[in-house]
């Protein structure tokens, strides 16, 4: 049942791609995802430089000389490969900027009977996103221990962990604008299994380079549908 509801929500999202307003938000989201991915990649190279010195040698890539390699094709390919991991924090960071616009576009088409949603102040939404992002990054750093211990299952651990964290974030932010913070947390606990599954199904395509650029916005729309379906059930 949960699978059916999740996929129904996703296909409803895809069905809205003919909506100019939705396409505009999707386009802006993809552009911002690219920019944030570049920033995350620069931060990763800066981290390598700080740890390993002016140049670093990476498997299959060779020597990476930090800033000098940023504009090279090798670096572009490396960034695409690393987007498998870097798009997870990018997806988390993008929610405060676009979730309200995406959710409103979805509700204007599919849930017109609803009263206006509560406006969540940008500063408050941004604070939530920073907190979620901090937890996500810390959890993924600690998870490297599990990846090393259970290497054959590392990808599934990665999807499961980030599915839990992203599902928690996206559902909470979608629910807050309708029922407030306290009720949103109650609903999140009540429907944890479905939210975790939906988040995991979002984390999987986030690990596919290039496709993952559209997933943060499509995920925000899908979780808006999921919230409404769960609360109407």
Q: Which residue, 200, 116, 132, is CA-closest to 172?
A: 132
CB atoms within 10 A of CB 177: 21
Rounded to the nearest 5°, which phi and psi values hold at 201?
-65, -20
Map residue 63 onto helix, strand or coil. Answer: strand
Instruction: Provide the β-strand partners of residue 67.
Output: none
> Three-class SS of residue 31?
helix
Residue 17 CB-density burial (10 A; 0-12 exposed, 13-18 middle, 19+ buried): exposed
Over its length of 233 residues, how does the chain's per-residue pLDDT go in tens digits? Answer: 788 999 999 999 999 999 999 999 999 999 999 988 888 887 777 776 666 555 455 554 455 555 455 556 566 777 787 788 888 888 988 887 888 999 999 999 999 999 999 887 778 877 888 889 899 989 988 998 898 899 899 999 999 999 999 999 999 999 999 999 999 999 999 999 999 999 999 999 999 988 999 999 999 999 999 999 999 86
Is the Cβ–Cβ distance between 122 and 96 less than 8 Å? yes
Residue 227: C-alpha distances to residues 33, 53, 69, 71, 125 (Å): 24, 47, 44, 42, 18
């Amino acid at each position: 049942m949960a699978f059916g509801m999740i996929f129904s929500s996703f296909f409803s999202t895809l069905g809205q791609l003919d909506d100019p307003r939705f396409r505009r938000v999707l386009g802006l989201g993809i552009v911002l995802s690219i920019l944030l991915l570049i920033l995350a990649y620069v931060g990763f190279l800066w981290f390598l430089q700080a740890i390993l010195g002016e140049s670093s040698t990476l498997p299959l890539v060779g020597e990476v000389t930090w800033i000098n390699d940023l504009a090279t094709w090798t670096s572009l390919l490396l960034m695409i490969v690393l987007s498998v991991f870097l798009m997870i924090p990018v997806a988390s960071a993008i929610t405060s900027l676009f979730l309200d616009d995406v959710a409103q576009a979805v509700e204007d088409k599919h849930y017109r009977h609803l009263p206006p949603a509560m406006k969540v102040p940008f500063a408050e939404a941004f604070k939530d996103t920073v907190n979620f992002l901090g937890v996500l990054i810390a959890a993924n750093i600690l998870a490297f221990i599990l990846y090393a211990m259970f290497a054959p299952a590392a990808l599934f651990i990665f999807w499961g962990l980030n599915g839990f964290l992203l599902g928690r974030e996206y559902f909470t932010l979608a629910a807050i604008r309708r029922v407030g913070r306290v009720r949103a947390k109650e609903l999140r606990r009540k429907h944890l299994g479905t939210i975790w599954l939906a988040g995991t199904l979002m984390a999987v395509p986030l690990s596919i380079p290039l496709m993952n650029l559209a997933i943060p916005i499509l995920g925000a729309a899908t979780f808006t549908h999921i919230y409404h379906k769960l609360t109407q059930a």
